[in-house]
Chains A and B, each alone.
Chain A
Amino acid sequence: MASPTLALPAAGGTRPRGVLTQAMIFVVVGGTMFFGALLAAYLHMRKISHPFPAEGTEIDEYWGNVMVGTMFMSAFTVEWGVSALRRNERTQALAGFGLTVALGLCFLNLLSFSSGHAAFDAVSNSYGLVVTAMVMALGIVAGIGVALCTLTLFRVAGRQLLEPDTEQPRATAIYWHFAVAASMAVWYTVIVLK
């Protein structure tokens, strides 16, 4: 009988160091261009449409501020997790990544709640359409981030990540920082600049 293994076999031998970090940097560059496109569409529309936003289109600043605050805090907790792993402090790492997952879920919940209660939707007008596109994109980006942090959390809990193999958590943290930066950029554009 063939010997079963706990994990899937590697696709092609040991992965060289730095590969995941490099790949994640490229993903972040692509993601920045993606959000850049949406923000540019919004700003272009803001420049040439009058009145802007259209009358009757209001956005709740309170929920926007709470959401960006939540994401801002999670940028620190994810770094807490990574630096704890670098020092081989497993319990601290569990706390750091666990809190990041919890804050990410809170953000997703707030995003869903606030878009459900917004005074506009995708069909209201051009403003509603582009803001809905940004909210949708933020939800997807944050959702992927939560999934990555959860994976890291389970790997830490299962003792699969031990110092000095911290590349995967570092790559996860880079992605999470991108999600935080994206939420702040959307917040600044839609809530602060209006």
Chain B
Amino acid sequence: MTVTDTRPDAPATGSDSIVATADHKLLGLLFLGGALVFLAVGAVVGLVLRGELADQGVSIVGGNYSRLFSLHATVSALLFLPPAWIGLATYVVPLQIGSGRLALPRLHAFAAWLFLIGGALLIGGYLLGPPVGLGLANSMPTASPAGGANNANALAIVAMGLVAVATILAAVDLAVTILKLRTPGLTLRRLPMFSWATLVSSLVTIFSTPVFVGGLVILYLDQRFGGSFFAPENVAGRTVWQHSLWLFGRPEVYLFMLPGLGAASDIVATHCRRPLVNLAAARTAIAMFGVLSFGSWAAGTKVADAIVLPTYTPLTTLVLVPLAILALVWLGTALKGKPRLHPSLLFVAGAVLLLAVGALHALAAAAAGVDGQAWTTGHLHTVAFGAPTLLVAGGVYHWAPKLFGRELSPGMGRLAFLGLFGGFFLLGLGSYLAGYDNGPAHVADFDFSASDTTYGLLAAVGGVVVFVGAMTMLGDVVLAGAGRSVASGPDDPYEGLTLEWATASPPPPAGFDSVPEVRSANPLLDLRTSAEASRG
């Protein structure tokens, strides 16, 4: 029998088992798969809520509206968009930087399982009983019940803490991977845009999410032991709530969108078959977006009464500047390139349109002096959730050859696009219009006028269309995922520009057989150009 006293090197897979794996590809799929399952949960609950508001009276949810609303908002905010981006980044970033591995793979595996367990416990908390005072989408806190809250509350808060810690750990690993494991020649200025956006997002996560965890610690103690810290009359508690726990008082809300801006930049460049027209401007805009996200902390306590979220103060409205710069860069790239009508490009176009719709409604609301909270619900679904969801879908369709070994179905992709884009548009429109009529938000039933009923129905139809779109995409992903082990598509189906397209589809366990030399931000374009030059 041989006993070794040194640590043997193993292939990058670590283990073939998904439970023990430290392979970035499997971990990425684990994060992404979990996020899509939680999306399905959030979508079903959202559909039930919309169904309730489509007609007069309370007929579907009974006395559970607040419980379901809290579940819908929390699952969508914490368990879908952030982990979906982490999943895509975990899979794609090591390939984009030519490393083929993560810096701290076991830490990342720990984060992945922590996220899945935390997510399951969070939903378990809502199943166990009605958690009270946990509406993180509400700007004002709810006092804890006398004598302490129930077990459902405690479980839900602890679960949110686990998910937040998992997000921080994954962000630490992604940032270290990008800073320390780049292939020679790939300077920070040459980083692919998705990797750049991932680095910025990771840094924003590392700086902002611990503050949320701090708020959760206080919330847990207050709820568990029946304290009065978050009683509405305690001004100090209200400020702490708004700056650490309330979703829109925190920089994290920008993280829904930030990685998507990088993904969209890569998608536009790849499918317009040319580098971005002004890479430096795009890179600066993404960094600026990350820095401005901290403006939500400086927005002051009056934000609670604001209707235009998250563009409620001049400081936070500045976020439109980097978005406009990026939109111009993408448009310029499309005009100078030869766009290919790939589903991922449709998703990017849809996200830009939703953002434009949101901006127009913000202007209209400012001019009309709208004070109805239903308007905010429309803005939330169009801008804060709809546009980033389209970008996640775009990223999945774009990198599908690497994720699943083959492209997803273009037909189903277009159908999913129509469902998600059209659905979010209708859903937002119904709520915006109800808002212009001063309709309320977060209620099981409207104080009825004829228009409220119509708008509620319009938003419910939008919700159904979103659900159909999401399920179409999920079906496409599940079919491709099932055949991943035997799939072997072309390495570079799009004539891509960045390093992930230099390896096999799906990539081998070590990531790369050999990494091309990097002399610019578009190493594969350089390779093709020099090959053409040598041919003739």
**Hey, which bits of chain A sit against chain B, CB under 8 A?**
1, 3-16, 18-20, 22-23, 26-27, 29-31, 33-38, 41, 44-45, 48-49, 121-123, 125-126, 129-130, 132-133, 136-137
User: Which chain B residues (147-164) contact chain A, with CB distance < 8 Å?
Assistant: none
What's the nearest-Cβ distance from chain A to residue B6, in Å? 8
User: Known contacts A11-B22, A45-B236; is A23 also within 8 Å of B173 by CB?
Assistant: yes
> Once bound together, how far apart are the Cα atoms of A35 and B206, in whole Å?
13
Question: Are B210 and A126 in contact, with the CB atoms below 8 A?
Answer: no
Chain B contacts for A133, CB-based, 8 A: 214, 217-218, 221
For this complex, 12 residue pairs linking A to B, each with C-beta atoms less than 8 Å apart, are A3-B4, A5-B8, A13-B10, A19-B176, A27-B172, A30-B168, A30-B206, A33-B206, A37-B213, A41-B218, A130-B229, A136-B221
Assess whether B3 is interfacial by the CB under 8 Å rule.
yes
User: Which chain B residues (1-29) contact chain A, with CB distance < 8 Å?
Assistant: 1-5, 7-14, 22-23
What's the nearest-Cβ distance from chain A to residue B302, in Å? 16
Assess whether B320 is interfacial by the CB under 8 Å rule.
no
> A41-B240, A44-B240 given. 12 additional CB < 8 A pairs?
A5-B4, A6-B3, A9-B7, A9-B14, A14-B9, A19-B103, A33-B208, A34-B214, A38-B217, A48-B236, A122-B225, A123-B227
> Once bound together, how far apart are the Cα atoms of A40 and B7, in whole Å?
45
Question: Are A37 and B227 in contact, with the CB atoms below 8 A?
Answer: no
Assess whether B237 is interfacial by the CB under 8 Å rule.
yes
Assess whether B211 is interfacial by the CB under 8 Å rule.
yes
Q: Which of B7, B11, B179, B229 has the most CB of A within 10 A?
A: B229
User: Known contacts A6-B5, A126-B228, A129-B221; is A23 also within 8 Å of B210 by CB?
Assistant: no
Closest residue of chain B to A43 (Cβ to Cβ) is B236
What's the nearest-Cβ distance from chain B to residue A171, in Å? 11
What's the nearest-Cβ distance from chain A to residue B23, in Å? 8
Assess whether B333 is interfacial by the CB under 8 Å rule.
no
Chain A contacts for B8, CB-based, 8 A: 5, 9-10
> Once bound together, how far apart are the Cα atoms of A133 and B401, in whole Å?
48
What's the nearest-Cβ distance from chain A to residue B214, in Å? 3
Q: Contact flags (1/0) for B222-266 with A, using CB distance below 8 Å?
A: 101111110000111101100010000000000000000000000
> Once bound together, how far apart are the Cα atoms of A76 and B102, in whole Å?
33
> Once bound together, how far apart are the Cα atoms of A137 and B211, in whole Å?
13
Chain A contacts for B171, CB-based, 8 A: 26
Chain A contacts for B209, CB-based, 8 A: 30
Closest residue of chain A to B107 (Cβ to Cβ) is A23
Chain A contacts for B226, CB-based, 8 A: 123
Assess whether B448 is interfacial by the CB under 8 Å rule.
no
> Number of B residues contacting the other chain (C-beta, 8 Å)?
58
Question: Are A22 and B179 in contact, with the CB atoms below 8 A?
Answer: yes
> Once bound together, how far apart are the Cα atoms of A19 and B108, in whole Å?
14
Assess whether B381 is interfacial by the CB under 8 Å rule.
no
What's the nearest-Cβ distance from chain B to residue A73, in Å? 27
Closest residue of chain B to A16 (Cβ to Cβ) is B180
Question: Are B217 and A126 in contact, with the CB atoms below 8 A?
Answer: no
Question: Are B229 and A12 in contact, with the CB atoms below 8 A?
Answer: no
What's the nearest-Cβ distance from chain B to residue A15, in Å? 7
What's the nearest-Cβ distance from chain A to residue B92, in Å? 17
What's the nearest-Cβ distance from chain A to residue B44, in Å? 34
**Hey, which bits of chain B sit against chain A, CB under 8 A?**
1-5, 7-14, 22-23, 101-107, 109, 168, 171-173, 175-176, 179-181, 206-211, 213-215, 217-218, 221-222, 224-229, 234-237, 239-240, 244
Chain A contacts for B237, CB-based, 8 A: 126
User: Known contacts A5-B4, A12-B14; is A23 also within 8 Å of B103 by CB?
Assistant: yes
Question: Are B227 and A1 in contact, with the CB atoms below 8 A?
Answer: no
Which of A14, A121, A129 touches B222 (beta carbons < 8 Å)?
A: A129
Question: Are A132 and B221 in contact, with the CB atoms below 8 A?
Answer: yes
Question: Are A26 and B172 in contact, with the CB atoms below 8 A?
Answer: yes
Chain B contacts for A125, CB-based, 8 A: 228
What's the nearest-Cβ distance from chain B to residue A106, in Å? 24
Chain B contacts for A8, CB-based, 8 A: 7
> Once bound together, how far apart are the Cα atoms of A30 and B207, in whole Å?
6
Closest residue of chain B to A45 (Cβ to Cβ) is B236
Question: Are A41 and B22 in contact, with the CB atoms below 8 A?
Answer: no
Question: Are B213 and A34 in contact, with the CB atoms below 8 A?
Answer: yes
Question: Are A36 and B228 in contact, with the CB atoms below 8 A?
Answer: no
> Once bound together, how far apart are the Cα atoms of A122 and B235, in whole Å?
18
Question: Are A15 and B103 in contact, with the CB atoms below 8 A?
Answer: yes
> Once bound together, how far apart are the Cα atoms of A31 and B168, in whole Å?
10
Closest residue of chain A to B177 (Cβ to Cβ) is A19
> Once bound together, how far apart are the Cα atoms of A4 and B5, in whole Å?
10
Closest residue of chain B to A49 (Cβ to Cβ) is B236
* 5 closest residue pairs by CB, A with B: A37-B214, A11-B22, A34-B210, A9-B10, A11-B105
User: Known contacts A10-B9, A23-B107; is A122 also within 8 Å of B227 by CB?
Assistant: yes
> Once bound together, how far apart are the Cα atoms of A18 and B106, in whole Å?
17
What's the nearest-Cβ distance from chain A to residue B519, in Å? 22
What's the nearest-Cβ distance from chain B to residue A139, in Å? 12
What's the nearest-Cβ distance from chain A to residue B242, in Å? 11
Chain B contacts for A10, CB-based, 8 A: 7-10
Which of A15, A31, A37, A129 touches B244 (beta carbons < 8 Å)?
A: A37
Chain B contacts for A26, CB-based, 8 A: 171-172, 175-176, 206
Question: Are A129 and B12 in contact, with the CB atoms below 8 A?
Answer: no
Question: Are B208 and A19 in contact, with the CB atoms below 8 A?
Answer: no
What's the nearest-Cβ distance from chain A to residue B149, in Å? 12
Which of A1, A13, A16, A22 touches B9 (beta carbons < 8 Å)?
A: A13
Closest residue of chain B to A17 (Cβ to Cβ) is B180
Chain A contacts for B234, CB-based, 8 A: 126
Closest residue of chain B to A30 (Cβ to Cβ) is B210
Question: Are A48 and B235 in contact, with the CB atoms below 8 A?
Answer: yes
Question: Are A34 and B211 in contact, with the CB atoms below 8 A?
Answer: yes
Which of B5, B10, B175, B210 touches A12 (beta carbons < 8 Å)?
A: B10
